Amino acid sequence: MTDTAHTSPVLTTQDGVPLKVSIARATRRQKFRAFLLVSPLLLFILITFTAPIVDMLYRSVENDIVSETLPETVVALEGWDESSGEIPGENVFAALSRDLAIAAEEKTHTRLGSRLNYENPGMSSLFRKTGRRVGRMDEGNYTEQFIDIDADWGAPKTWQVIKQFSSPITAGYFLAAVDAERTPEDGLQFKPSDERIYLFLFWRTLLLSVTITAMCILLGYPIAFLLSNLPMRTSNLLMILVLLPFWTSLLVRTSAWKVLLQQQGVINDTLVWIGLVGDDSRLQLINNQTGTVIAMTHILLPFMILPLFSVMKTISPTYMRAAKSMGASDWYAFWRVYFPQTVPGIGAGSILVFILSIGYYITPELVGGTSGIFISNRIAYHISSSLNWGLAAALGVILLTVVLVLYWLYDKIVGIDNVKLG
């Protein structure tokens, strides 16, 4: 053995393969096996979770409804100058009559109408009305016949909207999601400030989330401090008081707050009984922002306490003792020695609470009334009630971007591997 090692400069395994090659082969096999173990889940998540998210990204810009329903009209409109202030020529009206005749038969014109109605109110009824009569049109002179059905066909605005949304991809939903619009006359601009509902909602979501995060720090810090400094036995017992709400169903906690905060509820009853408030001036604690902040602080508080606790447990008590032995007061030792070491825990907890909070839907919906709802509630409204899926998707994409930036930050600061549960 020693002889071969001396004669050949390359180390080999027993069967004569160079060691490096052999190791590389073994590593490759291990890598492949590791990947094989992960691949079922990877595939599963890609299909059941990632594909839906990508679909949503696509929906937020997708706009093939105009070019699909009115193919000939879209082609004919290419020759029309939308800033001329005049309606398009006869050839466009002729194309429209052919397109609409087919669309009315397949009943797709109403869908197009409601889609364009988001951009220009009145389009829905215009298309429905026209669809009913387009089959009985005579040959020739289509311009006049269309304007006869509805004068809106003679308005350049109608045609501008159709032309603007005839390309298969649109930024229209995103513009609507930030309360902006594009008009041929003025170009890109924000809506008047009293109509800016979405920017206002985003702002409120951020503001309430910051409030909730701050409340969680305020209430969570003393608890985490107490738990990490008590003897193990006592702190394990008290930890149950944190973990039980954490493990209790979200709906249960929300129902509890709904019951507690009502005007005829337990808190108001107690306050009246003590005499702090009169029976006729019961506090309005629910269906407003107060309700949302109280209930969500309660629900998210464990997410602040747990990371703070795990950081504080690692801080050695000798630092504080050293500071005090050198003459620092209790407060000075805490503020200059202990507190700076807990900042990573505050950061981790805050990002976690903030991420969870800005996407909340259930609790604001149930206890928030109209003034305490978040952007999520608006997304849900557009999916299930107004059926403006594109706008819902665009709002969702904006919210998702914010969350992903925070997720990235969290990964940088804490590391995804260090997420601990319970």
Partner 1 sequence: MASALPPYASAGQRAWFYSFRIICGLIFFFLIFPVLIIIPLSFNAEDFFTFTPKMLALDPEGYSLKHYRDFFTNPDWQGAMWNSIAIAPAATILATGFGTLAAIGLSQSNMPFRSAVMALLISPMIVPLIISAAGMYFFYSRIGLQGTYMGVVLAHAALGTPFVIITVTATLVGFDQSLVRAAANLGADPVTTFFKVQMPLILPGVISGALFAFITSFDEVVVVLFLGSAAQKTLPWQMFTGLREQISPTILAVATLLVAISIALLTTLELLRRRSERLRGLTPG
Q: Which is nearer to partner 1, 204 or 253 (CB)?
A: 253
Under rule CB under 8 A, which residues in 381-400 are in contact with partner 1?
383-384, 389, 392-393, 396, 399-400
Question: Is residue 314 within the footprint of partner 1 (CB under 8 A)?
Answer: no
Among 87, 358, 373, 391, contact with partner 1 (rule: CB under 8 A): 358
**Structural contact between residues 86 and 156, judged by C-beta atoms closer than 8 angstroms:** yes
Among 222, 336, 343, 386, contact with partner 1 (rule: CB under 8 A): 222
Q: Which is nearer to partner 1, 77 or 286 (CB)?
A: 286
Among 65, 201, 300, 379, contact with partner 1 (rule: CB under 8 A): 379
- State how far the Cα of 109 lies from the Cα of 340, in Å rounded to an integer: 64
Q: What's the closest the beta carbon of residue 59 comes to partner 1, in angstroms?
A: 6
**Structural contact between residues 395 and 375, judged by C-beta atoms closer than 8 angstroms:** yes
Structure tokens at 327: 């003459």
> How many residues form the binding site for partner 1 (CB under 8 A)?
93
234 bridge partner residues: none
Question: Is residue 422 within the footprint of partner 1 (CB under 8 A)?
Answer: yes
Q: Which is nearer to partner 1, 133 or 324 (CB)?
A: 324
Q: If DSSP codes are grouped into helix, strand and coil, which group holds residue 119?
A: coil
Q: Which is nearer to partner 1, 134 or 397 (CB)?
A: 397
Q: What's the closest the beta carbon of residue 409 comes to partner 1, in angstroms?
A: 12
Under rule CB under 8 A, which residues in 30-49 are in contact with partner 1?
30-31, 33-38, 40-42, 44-45, 48-49
Under rule CB under 8 A, which residues in 274-313 are in contact with partner 1?
298, 301-302
Question: Is residue 332 within the footprint of partner 1 (CB under 8 A)?
Answer: no
Using the structure block, give the residue that is written with the tokens 């665009």. 394
Q: Which is nearer to partner 1, 76 or 414 (CB)?
A: 414
Query: How many alpha carbons fall within 13 Å on the CB side of residue 254?
Result: 15
The C-alpha R_g of the chain, in whole angstroms, comes to 32
The dihedral over CA atoms of 207, 208, 209, 213, expressed in degrees to the nearest 10, equals 100
Long-range contacts of 377-380 (CB under 8 A, 24+ apart): 378/197, 378/198, 378/201
Exposed e or buried b for every residue in 353-369, given b needs 16+ CB within 10 A? bbbbbbbbeebbbbbbb
Burial class (CB in 10 A: 0-12, 13-18, 19+), 62: middle
Q: Which is nearer to partner 1, 16 or 273 (CB)?
A: 273
Question: Is residue 230 within the footprint of partner 1 (CB under 8 A)?
Answer: yes
Q: What's the closest the beta carbon of residue 164 comes to partner 1, in angstroms?
A: 24
Residue type, 208: L
Q: If DSSP codes are grouped into helix, strand and coil, which group holds residue 180?
A: strand
Handedness of CA 372, 374, 377, 379 (dihedral sign): positive
Q: Which is nearer to partner 1, 120 or 350 (CB)?
A: 350
Question: Is residue 203 within the footprint of partner 1 (CB under 8 A)?
Answer: no
Under rule CB under 8 A, which residues in 240-279 are in contact with partner 1?
240-245, 247-260, 262, 264-266, 269
Q: Which is nearer to partner 1, 137 or 226 (CB)?
A: 226
Q: What's the closest the beta carbon of residue 49 comes to partner 1, in angstroms?
A: 4
**Quick one: which segment of 133-141, 169-177, 187-195, 355-363 binds partner 1 (CB under 8 A)?**
355-363
- State how far the Cα of 258 lies from the Cα of 262, in Å rounded to an integer: 6
Question: Is residue 147 within the footprint of partner 1 (CB under 8 A)?
Answer: no
Question: Is residue 238 within the footprint of partner 1 (CB under 8 A)?
Answer: yes
Among 8, 50, 141, 183, contact with partner 1 (rule: CB under 8 A): 50
Neighbours of 63 (CB within 10 A): 20
Kindly state the DSSP code that residue 187 receives in the 8-state scheme: E
Residue type, 286: I
Question: Is residue 55 within the footprint of partner 1 (CB under 8 A)?
Answer: yes
- Kindly give the interhelix angle for 232-247 and 289-312, rounded to the nearest 10 degrees: 140
Q: Which is nearer to partner 1, 151 or 251 (CB)?
A: 251
Q: What's the closest the beta carbon of residue 192 comes to partner 1, in angstroms?
A: 28
Q: What's the closest the beta carbon of residue 38 comes to partner 1, in angstroms?
A: 4
DSSP helix, strand, coil percent of the chain (3-state; round to 5): 75, 5, 25
Question: Is residue 174 within the footprint of partner 1 (CB under 8 A)?
Answer: no
**Structural contact between residues 310 and 345, judged by C-beta atoms closer than 8 angstroms:** yes
Among 164, 108, 115, smallest CA distance to 134 is for: 108
